[in-house]
Amino acid sequence: MTALVLVFCLQGAPASCTEQHPLEDLSLQACLVRGQHYAAEWLAEHPKWILSRWRCEHNVPRQKPA
């Protein structure tokens, strides 16, 4: 399965970014289609932010640092 990953940055501080993982367990096609829609909704709710980048990646659980 695939997870959507969106990176948003503050307009006035492009080095201040946050990574969002809103949708998981999607097919690749669903991730591509729904990713654009979700990003537009998020930006409408957070007008001081811009979308820096986004991707669909294999939904592999991330290991926590030891």
Mean pLDDT of 10-30: 91
- Residue 64 pLDDT greater than 60, yes or no: no
pLDDT, the chain, mean: 89
Give residues with Cβ within 8 angstroms of 34, minimum separation 6: 4, 23, 26
Mean pLDDT of 48-63: 84
Instruction: Write out pLDDT tens, residues 21-30.
Output: 988 888 999 9
What is the pTM (predicted TM-score) of this model? 0.78
Looking at this protein, which amino acid is placed at residue 5? Answer: V
